[in-house]
Chains A and B, each alone.
Chain A
């Protein structure tokens, strides 16, 4: 049994919170460049150039890429041969969020209650997705999620008879309806199958993939290509001002499901696709 003090988790979360919000991944920067070369709209190309410049300023001057520094969504893969000591895992994550959002001058965007809406003042609590995995390591992925793109997400419980065409229609309609709102170009996370809640989590987890890396199953990789083509035919474009780059990528994740069900969830990620990870 390997012992790990939860203080190490706090320190990691604190660092990842600041890094994720100021240092955009190379895969996203690469997408800005690739799509600048293919974007048909001059305004669209100008916006992609501004996003590249924004990312440079954020990285060089350690400033948040976006004022919406997000809900702290933290994925923890806990090795089953690790024994955590020194405190409560969830409290350790929250303490890391509290420190990172204070020290990094990040925005506190969480209200304690959805209807009474008083800001907690420190961006806690985090949303923690904990998974028990083999081994003696702890993997932490910090993925701050902005409200604008999260609000454009959706879920449907389709009939099995609706099939792949039904799934495609739902996904493309969702993106079409969202239009300029989620800060396109977006990354469209899709979860197909499982149960109601599994589909949503699949969609969210798919956003952690390297941008544009295809699903390893050729069937789903092909579906991702078809969906991206249909989405980019909508004409929404960067910031919704018209263009050929509405989304950089569609990531689909599938899961076994009930004979009666065909759940499909769409989780939209804005162009500021932020996530950083560490293994302890």
Chain B
């Protein structure tokens, strides 16, 4: 395995273009959390052409709903949630300049097309490794929708947050490539 690529948001088109499916990355800097309910609200604002609680331009959204922070820690366990539920919303946010998404699992053809068109990237973190991943999160503050509890939008500061590029803006797809490499014929 080659050395991981270091990323610090905000990302540019050029940053996205050099990422290829299968690349391992370490992110240091700011991530914004959002999952189902927060996405619904964000996209509602976009459709009504109202300002968003944070400017998505160049940013990375992390699909996560963390557990509550225990005393003395910035956040609880915080692994990725399944991304396809955000598929109806992601293209609009990519259109508004969002560059990256971190989650787990497959994306829709519409999202993949939006990643290509707007030069974005879709990354996966290890699902179910929430305790491990939380060690890379230095701080967390709620920026919007506190009423949503675990689904509130949080601004995280992360250090060496590990992820892998699943879908790049050139059409690369690690899920398809990885699976094809290890599949055996049925009954074989």
Contact = CB atoms under 8 A, between A and B. Distances in A.
B130 A64 contact: yes
Contacts of B106: 179-181, 240
A50 B132 contact: yes
B185 interface: yes
Contact of A64 (B76, B148, B181): B76
Number of chain B interface residues as a range: 35 or more
Nearest to A44: B182
Given A54-B128, A148-B127, 9 more contacts: A50-B126, A53-B132, A54-B131, A66-B130, A66-B131, A109-B150, A180-B105, A242-B174, A242-B179
B180 interface: yes
A241 B174 contact: yes
A57 B132 contact: yes
B81 A148 contact: yes
Interface in B112-128: 124, 126-128
Contacts of A109: 65, 150
Contacts of A98: none
Interface string A22-55: 0000000000000000001111001100110110
Nearest to A106: B67
Interface in A50-107: 50-51, 53-54, 57-58, 61, 63-69, 105-107
B182 A181 contact: no
B177 interface: yes
List 10 A-B pairs, minimum CB-CB distance, nearest first: A242-B178, A235-B183, A235-B182, A181-B105, A183-B127, A233-B184, A54-B132, A64-B77, A67-B130, A54-B129
